[in-house]
Structure 1
Amino acid sequence: MHRGRPFSGASSAARGTCEAIAAVCDPRAADLTRAGDNDEVTATGLPLDALRPRLPSPLVAIEDARLARHGVRLLLKRDDLIHPDLPGNKWRKLRLNLQAAADAGHDTLLTFGGAYSNHLRATAAAGRLLGFTTIGVVRGDELARRPLNDSLARAAADGMRLAFVDRTTYRRKAEPDVAEELRERFGRCYVVPEGGSNALAAQGCAELGRELRGEADVVAVACGTGGTLAGLAAGLAPGGQRAIGFPVLKGGFLGAAVQRLQEDAFGGRTGDWTLDERFHHGGYARTTPGLDAFAADFAVRHGLVPDRVYVAKMLHGLLTLADEGAFSPGTRLAAVVTG
């Protein structure tokens, strides 16, 4: 089990992106965001396809009386079944980043996340499977003095070195002085942003949209950092499909983040997408009695227990929109189960 000590950094003005960290950890990193689809060779010399992802992911129709009364059909896009260790949007977001890291000769990945981050866990698993050293910068230095929760314990078991930082420093993680301290502490590394969302992640998630062409009229996805929605919308059929993102965090910042990701990945805003910010249920990793009841009822009806951090919030939003008359009879809805 790998635990790191907390660290702090001095104040400095900077853009709220990971560009500063990437440039300090490896000056070439900024040139990697538009890497092409070359042969996918990993740090161990094995192709990424050796992981045998299940693609395209299954698309499963379910019967739900609450939607049927509105004449609406529901399909579940089971991205949670892509890979046992790298499920859902994590595989799609990491794939091209892993390729870029290997192409640049990196053997170490550094990334960021909170105490319950699926992204940290997935990055740690990718490191174990593909031969990368992994470092996770975790929000909250108080966590260093507590037993690891299941998510962080699993990341540590997969070999990830955990570095706990105070919340003020974490918010400033893109500033040059904090980035310099990371470089001094950990050396040369390939930086994957918080949540895995960058231009390469959005490009990887565009395949999700392409898999759904002709299958649904409206596609719904829960949103944390926006990379999945940015790519999904870009991959859907122009003029015939649209995407709805349901942010799981408060703050109203995600629209600008998704547009910025699309500009970086595709040269501009692309696809038909909107956000409905009403269903965060208090914020990230928070829940309400109403959400708990909805998730439990969905599990009884359909045999799938939706996680309350992401998927349950999206499904609750989708069914609420149907009750509000947002979808005309005959609409095919696809809900992405991101895992």
Structure 2
Amino acid sequence: MDVHKPIAINEYLPLPEFEEKGVSVYLKREDLVFPVASGNKWRKLKYNFKALKASSFKGMLTFGGAFSNHLSAAAALAAQEQIPIVGIVRGEELANKPLNPTLLQCQANGMQLIFVTRAEYKLKALGETVSQIVAAKNLFVVPEGGTNKLAVKGCMEILAKNDVRFDVIGCAVGTGGTLAGLAASAAAHQKVVGFQMVDDATIPDRIRTFVTSDNWELIRHLSYAGYSNADKRLVTFANELNKKTGVLLDPIYTAPMLFQLVQMIKDKTWSFGTNILLIHTGGTQGIAGYNYQYQSQWPEP
């Protein structure tokens, strides 16, 4: 795998909600850098694939939900590298249902999909099914969301030298790997703010296993957070932004993050600075699955 260190462009967001309050917001377009596995997905996986190829492992095993961006990216990169890959999917009941667009693409890229109960899924690599498969096939295990030390190393390459001009770096948080990489590579004056999208109390401790500094903070907006929520206001917001700027946001991470920032600035609850760089972490592959699940009208690529 090519382990070059590309630089994503920073795109100014000319939203009146920001400009009227004297807030400058740029979006780092990581989503445009890697067409196969956009944004932080490629960053998280590239050193994992490099480690696998330098080892005696015969393939990869990783985890995700039915609409997982991580599974999709891992499958695409494994196909590109011609590496066997197994995806452990949360929800045994899905095995007898038609595959959604995300899982169909995973399968098309050669990923072996194995559906397990939610109870066993929580055990991850310690589950009986996974343990047996890993041992039998000699597989390199990558955690859910790809977050491990190698993933954080990849995410430390997101920020460029000229990004030092921003006083706030913002990103959406699912497992914490991207935020950890940003916090580890941010300049001394910068605050890294994570918009937490899941109800997972283990995220702060997970981040602390990779980062010793206290230059980061997690925030949540309970009204809009969560993988399983479809909010009409969010759909409207994404469509309006796409028409105004041409920027396509994903429904799980970047759209809720930006929508939340707009709301916090309107409500005067944003206190982290006015010169902001948000990271577009990709994930637009999930739009088809989102529209499939919610019969929604999210703008598509």
- Normalising by the smaller structure, the TM-score range is 0.7 to 0.9
**Separation in structure 1 between the aligned mates of residue 271 and residue 223 of structure 2, nearest angstrom:** 25
**Separation in structure 2 between the aligned mates of residue 66 and residue 88 of structure 1, nearest angstrom:** 26
**Separation in structure 1 between the aligned mates of residue 268 and residue 225 of structure 2, nearest angstrom:** 25
Match of 1:10 in 2: none
TM-score (norm 1): 0.77
Instruction: Confirm or deny that 1:152 pairs with 2:103.
Output: yes
Q: Is the 2:43–2:155 contact (alpha carbons within 8 Å) kept by the matching residues of 1?
A: yes
**Separation in structure 2 between the aligned mates of residue 335 and residue 321 of structure 1, nearest angstrom:** 15
Distance 1:210 1:110, change over 3 A: same
1:228 to 161, 178, 183: 178
The Cα shift of 1:211 comes to: 5.0
Instruction: Confirm or deny that 1:318 pairs with 2:272.
Output: no
2:83 to 132, 146, 151: 132
**Separation in structure 2 between the aligned mates of residue 207 and residue 144 of structure 1, nearest angstrom:** 38
The Cα shift of 1:75 comes to: 0.6
* Correspondence 1:148-297 to 2 at 5 A: 148-175=99-126, 177-184=128-135, 186-211=136-161, 213-238=163-188, 240-260=189-209, 262=210, 268-270=211-213, 272-279=215-222, 281=224, 283-297=226-240
Distance 1:54 1:100, change over 3 A: closer
* Correspondence 1:19-38 to 2 at 5 A: none
**Separation in structure 2 between the aligned mates of residue 199 and residue 323 of structure 1, nearest angstrom:** 37
Q: Which has the larger radius of gyration?
A: 1
Q: Name the aligned partner's letter for residue 229 of structure 2.
A: R
The runs of 5 or more residues in structure 2 that have no matched partner are 283-301
Superposition misfits of 4+ residues, deviation over 3 angstroms: 176-179, 209-213, 324-330
Q: Percent identity?
A: 35
Aligned length: 282
Distance 1:164 1:287, change over 3 A: same
The Cα shift of 1:178 comes to: 4.8
Tell me the secondary structure at the aligned position of residue 110 of structure 2.
coil
Q: Name the aligned partner's letter for residue 275 of structure 1.
A: L
The Cα shift of 1:271 comes to: 5.3
TM-score (norm 2): 0.87
The Cα shift of 1:321 comes to: 2.4
Distance 1:216 1:327, change over 3 A: farther
The runs of 5 or more residues in structure 1 that have no matched partner are 1-46, 263-267
Instruction: Confirm or deny that 1:91 pairs with 2:19.
Output: no
The Cα shift of 1:301 comes to: 2.4
Tell me the secondary structure at the aligned position of residue 27 of structure 2.
strand
**Separation in structure 2 between the aligned mates of residue 212 and residue 257 of structure 1, nearest angstrom:** 29
Q: Is the 1:279–1:317 contact (alpha carbons within 8 Å) kept by the matching residues of 2?
A: no
Q: Is the 2:33–2:39 contact (alpha carbons within 8 Å) kept by the matching residues of 1?
A: yes
